[in-house]
Amino acid sequence: MQTLTINGQDYQVDAPESMPLLWAIRDLIGLTGTKFGCGVAQCGACSIMIDGTVVRSCSTMVSQAIGKNITTIEGTSDSLEALRQAWRDNSVPQCGYCQSGQLISAAELLDTNDNPTDEDIDNAMSGNICRCGTYVRIKKAIKEAVELKKQA
Amino acid sequence: MEKIEMKRRDFVKIFGLASGGLLFGCNVSADKVVVNTLENGISFVPNLFIQLQKDGKLTIVVARSEMGQGIRTSMASAIAEDLEADWKYVTVQQATGDSKFGNQNTDGSRSIRTLLKPMRKMGAMARLILEQAAAKKWNIPVASCKAENHFVKNISTGEEIFFGDLVEEAKTIAIPLDENIILKDKKDFKYIGKKVIRGIDMEDFLHGKANYGLDARFPNMKFASIARSPVTFGSVKSFDTSDTNEINGVEQVVQLDRLIPPAGQFFGMLGGVAVIANNTWSAFQGKNNLNIEWESGSNEIYNSEKFKEKLISRIHKKAKVVPPFKGNVDKAFENADKVIEATYTMPHLVHAPMEVPNALAWVRDGKCDVWAPVQDPQTVRAEIAHFFGFAIEDITINVMMLGGAFGRKSKSDFVVEAVALSEKIKAPVQVVWTREDDIQHSFYHAQNAQYLKGSLDKKGKVTGWLHRVAFPSITSSFKPMSNYIAGFELGMGFTNNPYDIENIQIENAKAESHLRIGWLRSVSNIISGFGINSFVDELAVASEEDAIDFRLNLLGEDKISTEKSPHPFNVSRLKNVLLEAKKLSNWGSKLPEGHGLGVAIHYSFYSYVATVVEVSVKSEKVKVENIYSVLDCGMYVNRDAVINQMEGAAIFGMSLTMFGKISTKDGAVEQSNFHDYQMTRMIDAPNIHVHLVDNEEDPTGVGEPGVPPVSAAITNAIFNASGKRVRSLPLSDHGMV
Ligand code: FES
Ligand code: FES
């Protein structure tokens, strides 16, 4: 048994040794907001934060998260709430499937950069594919979230 | 609107809900009102339901699949509009796949086109009942009662009564006569054509709570991953599971035979070797560890590059002439001042929705329950009945949210796999495709080649047009040996070419299929959109005319087609979107060095689109800077969702132009995941500017029509920026990305 701390709550899991975090979170713990898209760190759908840093959970071992704080889309933070508001205001999602990963990647950007440039946004977000093509809205919403966070 | 008549008998109120609420049922059908007989005396089966609770909560049952087009929001808001409902009370419930909900097939960009008016009428009918209930309660004429924002108001006194408080009274009101049901005036719209307050699923999306197929969960459910033959329709010769059995979590290995669908319908399944485990990861690992010897079969000969050469040689010879026949092209070419010819090719494509194909099935006690992201639940149901012998009423399809689809999820082979496995192992089991499975075992958009030849007279007028095309038909997936393009595919831009040219000849050359061929967002319009728009551009260059003026001339006089169609083609609407795109893109203004604009227009799914693209070309590398798209889809419901679809279509079209390529070697697909089947990412995403034409025309398609013009608009822009004419896609093949 291992203990994983996700969004401030402890979960006991019995994960096979090589199992990536994605599957421990989805199949063993049952938090299904974190998505499977490619399994090989190519699409970002499975993005989570470990101690504030974004990782692709499909390619991160369970052992790397023991004793650390995991944040998933089911969690919250100042950045995430600002982003959610901007996502609402801009009707960002289409199918919504990639958006958990998009929001998590954007949250790290806002946590670490008070004034991201277009280039910063491109760099932070280009690991996240949106097959529905909502990039223009994501970019606009990130910029608005930066402002919302400043006002808060 | 295609002849929708709804009579009084097509509505019903159903009482006796456990909640004490009121349920309105109505029969909504795209082409006719279906009247069925039920034992209890109701003379039809309602297929659309609105439930009003005493607390004011309004639930609308939506019988279309949500895959990113916002259909749940749009359908609910169309009903809420005429019902005068307050959006904050509205929730949506997804209908299960059942014939009582009418045709639920979510493809062909047809949902709003066919259902808007009946849904509005349904809302108006419910509103009238509530107004009559209030009139009865207050004992005043119904003309003095007006519903507004979830209340009915007494116009003379200003007194108000809440919708929820009218539930009991409403139960005593008869269904209104048809002629009394009046739709709202367009100018009073609050939701239709406006930005709806919030998408019905927004909060779920933002908190990871939306339930996609892949999120279906049951205690003790099993997970399955299936190894399928690398060559299409190959079979298992032998397999060894010893390395698979070592994997922690693997429970059993099951062989599945291919299920071949009867000619003309269904999808069947490929078969293979399935690994069942107690979690997805172990199933994936177990599958990777299988040692399988395959019998490849006849498709082993398929090398897509070689096949492309074959298609090109075929379209360079005379092929089968298909209607419409117009004039005499040979004569036109003989008498021409200039003759231009060009050959265009595009490879196979795959949908790659972010959510891979998956399905959870549970067969027990003679019944079959499915939870899956499907575009067409009723076909799935019929298919399961066909292959597994269940009575149709013992099959329930729970339609989950679709994490993208683009046509992939209307082909239900993945559901058939899950049912076959659940039947075998007698447990709930979720089949999960890996991304590699998705890229390598899909129903592919067809590889294609086109040859165009055109003639110009001395004044630069186009006098002749020969269009020869070859690609494996979708029909081949339903009927083997279908080696020619089907009429419905040719009707997507080829035989309904919008240009006014005296002599036109369309020819179709043979193309065998060696992969499963299927439809992908906008289908063969992608092919015609690229070929025709590229060639018209080449003609414009040859006649030394501006690309937009040239097209406007070539479209000829304003007229509306006399063909039999629910929405006859109106050439002036196509010209109008082109002119709007000209304005939107500042066509003709001076651009920075190395930049160029390209234009393309296309008519599909009864909608009109013009797209202008600005690219920059620096040391042979292309960057798409701006995409300007103008759409005329008649009346639209959810303005913002329509714009979002057009933005998405621009990115989708750009992805396939820059990178889209599925190739095969010895029958097997060479690509496997997003590193070698690439798509546009944020860093490459251009600015996208969308303009919607406002008019009173009937609503037409939105989800697909934005895609077809994008490719040629990009390559035409590349020509204008650099002088290089790209005639084969994708650009990555030319080292241009
Ligand atoms: S699923 Fe992890 S990056 Fe795609
Ligand atoms: S919203 Fe569908 S993949 Fe991004």
**Rounded Cα–Cα distance for residues B262 and B386 (Å):** 9
pLDDT of the residue at B2: 34
pLDDT of the residue at A18: 84
Count of domains forming chain A: 2
Nearest CA-CA distance, residue A67 and chain B, Å:
23
Q: What is the mean pLDDT of residues A94-99?
A: 96
- A7 with A48, same domain: the answer is yes
Residue B265 belongs to what domain range? 216-297+357-432
**Rounded Cα–Cα distance for residues B28 and B18 (Å):** 25
DSSP assignment of B265-333, as one string?
S---B--EEEEEESSHHHHHHHHHT-EEEEE--GGGG--HHHHHHHHHHHHTS--EEEEEEES-HHHHH
How is residue B586 annotated by DSSP?
T
Is B210 within 8 Å of A35 when comparing Cβ atoms? no
The token pair at A102 is 């998009």
- Among residues A71, A97, A119, the one where a domain terminates is A71
Q: How does residue B495 score in pLDDT terms, banded at 50, 70 and 90?
A: very high
pLDDT digits (tens, 9 = 90+) for A131-147: 999 999 999 999 999 99
Query: Residue B52 pLDDT > 70, yes or no?
Result: yes
Q: Which of B87, B225, B354 to mutate to test the interface with A (most CBs of A within 10 A)?
A: B354
- B274 with B422, same domain: the answer is yes
B437 in a structural domain: no
Nearest CA-CA distance, residue B88 and chain A, Å:
15
pLDDT digits (tens, 9 = 90+) for B264-274: 889 999 999 99
Query: Residue B38 pLDDT > 50, yes or no?
Result: no
- A97 with A140, same domain: the answer is yes
- CB A132 near ligand 2, within 6 Å: yes
Q: How does residue B107 score in pLDDT terms, banded at 50, 70 and 90?
A: low
pLDDT of the residue at B93: 81
Is B281 within 8 Å of A33 when comparing Cβ atoms? no
Burial of B177 from C-beta contacts in 10 A (0-12 / 13-18 / 19+): exposed
pLDDT digits (tens, 9 = 90+) for B305-319: 999 999 999 999 999
pLDDT of the residue at B105: 62
> Are A87 and A22 contacting, i.e. CB atoms less than 8 angstroms apart?
no
Is A38 within 8 Å of B204 when comparing Cβ atoms? no
pLDDT of the residue at B15: 44
- A59 with A114, same domain: the answer is no
pLDDT of the residue at B194: 79
- Among residues A48, A71, A94, the one where a domain terminates is A71
Which one, of B449, B433, B451, B429, lies nearest residue B441 by Cα? B433
Is B644 within 8 Å of A138 when comparing Cβ atoms? no
- A contact residues 16-55, partner B, Cβ 8 Å cutoff: 16-20, 22-23, 26-28, 30-40, 42-43, 45
B41 in a structural domain: yes
B175 in helix, strand or coil?
A: coil
pLDDT of the residue at B514: 97
- Among residues A49, A71, A93, the one where a domain terminates is A71
- B334 with B395, same domain: the answer is no
**Rounded Cα–Cα distance for residues B400 and B375 (Å):** 10
pLDDT digits (tens, 9 = 90+) for B461-489: 999 999 999 999 999 999 888 999 999 99
Cβ-based neighbours of B609, under 8 Å, separated by 6 or more: B577, B601, B602, B603, B629, B630, B631, B632, B705, B706, B708, B709
* Cα–Cα distances in angstroms (integers) from residue B496 to residues B504, B571, B699, in the given order: 11, 12, 20
pLDDT digits (tens, 9 = 90+) for B327-383: 999 999 999 999 999 999 999 999 999 999 999 999 999 999 999 999 888 899 999
Query: Residue B26 pLDDT > 70, yes or no?
Result: no
- CB A20 near ligand 2, within 6 Å: no
Q: How far is the CA of B225 from the centre of ligand 1 (A)?
A: 17
> Are B602 and B609 contacting, i.e. CB atoms less than 8 angstroms apart?
yes
A-B contacts at Cβ under 8 angstroms: 184
Mean per-residue pLDDT over chain B, rounded: 90
- B228 with B308, same domain: the answer is no
Is B403 within 8 Å of A93 when comparing Cβ atoms? no
Ligand nearest B673 Cα, by number? Answer: 1
Sheet hosting strand B621-632, strand order edge to edge: B595-604, B607-618, B621-632, B687-692
Query: Residue B10 pLDDT > 80, yes or no?
Result: no
The token pair at B688 is 């996208």
Q: Which of B281, B442, B645, B687 to mutate to test the interface with A (most CBs of A within 10 A)?
A: B281
- CB A134 near ligand 2, within 6 Å: yes
How is residue B141 annotated by DSSP?
-
pLDDT digits (tens, 9 = 90+) for B629-681: 999 999 888 888 899 999 999 999 999 999 999 999 999 999 999 999 999 99
- A103 with A60, same domain: the answer is no
pLDDT of the residue at B564: 87
- B427 with B483, same domain: the answer is no
CATH code of the domain covering residue B670:
3.30.365.10
Tell how strand B687-692 and strand B621-632 pair up.
parallel
Q: Which residues of B289-327 are buried (b: 16+ CB within 10 A; e: fewer)?
A: bbebebebeebbebbbeebbeebbebbeeebeebeeeee
Q: In percent, how much of chain A has pLDDT > 70?
A: 100
Q: What is the mean pLDDT of residues B616-636?
A: 96
On chain B, the residues whose CB falls within 8 A of the CB of A130 are 354, 651
Q: Pick the residue whose CA is nearest to atom 3 on ligand 1.
A: A41
- CB A98 near ligand 2, within 6 Å: yes
Tell how strand B395-399 and strand B367-372 pair up.
parallel
> Are B370 and B361 contacting, i.e. CB atoms less than 8 angstroms apart?
yes
Mean per-residue pLDDT over chain A, rounded: 96
CATH code of the domain covering residue A131:
1.10.150.120
B438 in a structural domain: no
pLDDT digits (tens, 9 = 90+) for B532-582: 999 999 999 999 999 999 999 999 999 999 888 889 999 999 999 999 999
On chain A, the residues whose CB falls within 8 A of the CB of B73 are none
How is residue B194 annotated by DSSP?
B
- A108 with A92, same domain: the answer is yes
Is B208 within 8 Å of A32 when comparing Cβ atoms? yes
**Rounded Cα–Cα distance for residues A37 and A34 (Å):** 10
The token pair at B488 is 């419905």
B480 in a structural domain: yes
- A45 with A85, same domain: the answer is no
Is B280 within 8 Å of A36 when comparing Cβ atoms? yes
Count of domains forming chain B: 3
CATH code of the domain covering residue A54:
3.10.20.30
pLDDT digits (tens, 9 = 90+) for B160-217: 999 999 988 887 888 777 778 889 998 899 888 877 667 889 999 999 999 999 999 9
Scanning B367-496, the segments in alpha helix (DSSP H) are 377-388, 413-425, 435-440, 487-490
- A99 with A121, same domain: the answer is yes
Give me the interface pTM, i.e. the ipTM.
Answer: 0.98
The token pair at B154 is 């007494």
- Among residues B161, B184, B207, the one where a domain terminates is B207
Burial of A45 from C-beta contacts in 10 A (0-12 / 13-18 / 19+): buried
- A61 with A113, same domain: the answer is no
pLDDT of the residue at B12: 53
Query: Residue B233 pLDDT > 50, yes or no?
Result: yes
Residue of A nearest to B356 (CA): A37
Question: Percentage helix, strand, coil, to 5, in chain A?
Answer: 45, 15, 40
- B424 with B318, same domain: the answer is no
Residue A94 belongs to what domain range? 78-151
**Rounded Cα–Cα distance for residues B445 and B303 (Å):** 16
- B113 with B225, same domain: the answer is no
pLDDT of the residue at A104: 98
DSSP assignment of B93-133, as one string?
EEPPB-GGG------TT-HHHHHHHHHHHHHHHHHHHHHHH
DSSP assignment of B415-435, as one string?
HHHHHHHHHHHTS-EEEE--H
Query: Residue B3 pLDDT > 90, yes or no?
Result: no
B439 in a structural domain: no
pLDDT of the residue at B40: 31
CB contact A11 to B (< 8 Å): no
pLDDT of the residue at A142: 98
- B346 with B376, same domain: the answer is no
Which one, of B46, B49, B51, B62, lies nearest residue B96 by Cα? B62
Q: How does residue B8 score in pLDDT terms, banded at 50, 70 and 90?
A: very low
pLDDT of the residue at B45: 46
Strand partners, B399: B372
- A64 with A84, same domain: the answer is no
- B162 with B48, same domain: the answer is yes
- B contact residues 349-368, partner A, Cβ 8 Å cutoff: 352-356
